[in-house]
Structure 1
């Protein structure tokens, strides 16, 4: 059985976010990461897909005027604690 948790974060520095995701994968055995991020100063969404500690990322499209600029991620693994993972991510991207 796999767990799938969704996390919404504010805009985040790209390198801080990717470093934090890599650490979470190692610490918590996360298998997949999918979603998009709002990067300050960038007019486009950063699409993120990860398998283990390998991440692929690219800007996929411009933010629409009616869209909230926020980061949305889905983490997939086993026995994931959503509260712990979200707290760790928030602390890491806060810089």
Structure 2
């Protein structure tokens, strides 16, 4: 089954013939707005209080940027990106690159190991010769290892 092959945290919605209601896709009607008073925002608790858990939402994720030169082989790099995402359990990766001497910017978008890329527009002068990626994952990502793996 597909559920057995999916990575942890992937949710499934039953559909027939690919029909999923827009309300389900957009998360409408889940009632999150109905309990706003019960939700605790950043710094609503005092850290010296000993009666609450110190796991706060802002501590759950980590983001960093990876700067690389222009790519010589986009397909090879995108396969490497996919493997790095799998190896390091990266949630999201996005950015852009120059490929060889092509004048167009390559956009790279990844959610889990699903990697997509496309050329969107001519490169701006400040983008030429560069690859810039943003990596997003749960706290504890090994930034040094991820950067090294993407550079290899």
Please classify the TM superposition score into its range, dividing by the shorter chain length: 0.7 to 0.9
Q: 1:68 to 1:52 in 2, by over 3 A?
A: same
Q: What does residue 8 of structure 1 align with?
A: 67
The answer for unaligned runs of 5 or more in structure 1 is none
Q: Match for residue 81 of structure 2?
A: 21
- The answer (yes or no) to whether the contact 1:63–1:69 under 8 Å persists in 2 is no
Mark the CA change 1:63 to 1:80 in structure 2 (over 3 Å): closer, same or farther.
same
Deviation at 1:73, TM superposition (A): 0.2
Please give the secondary structure, in 2, of the residue aligned with 1:19.
helix
Mapped contact 1:38–1:69 kept (Cα < 8 A): yes
Q: Match of 1:77?
A: 137
Deviation at 1:11?
1.0
Could you tell me how far 1:65 is from its partner in structure 2? 3.4
Distance 1:82 1:17 in 2: 18
Residue of structure 1 in register with 2:118 after alignment? 58
Aligned residues between the structures:
91
- Note closer, same or farther for the CA distance 1:66–1:88 as it changes in structure 2 (3 Å cut): closer
The whole-number CA distance in structure 2 between the counterparts of 1:89 and 1:24 is 7
d(CA) in 1 for partners of 2:112, 2:126: 33
Find the counterpart in structure 2 of residue 37 from structure 1.
Answer: 97
Give the structure with higher Rg (CA): 2
Runs (5+) with no aligned partner, structure 2: 1-59
Greater fraction strand? 1
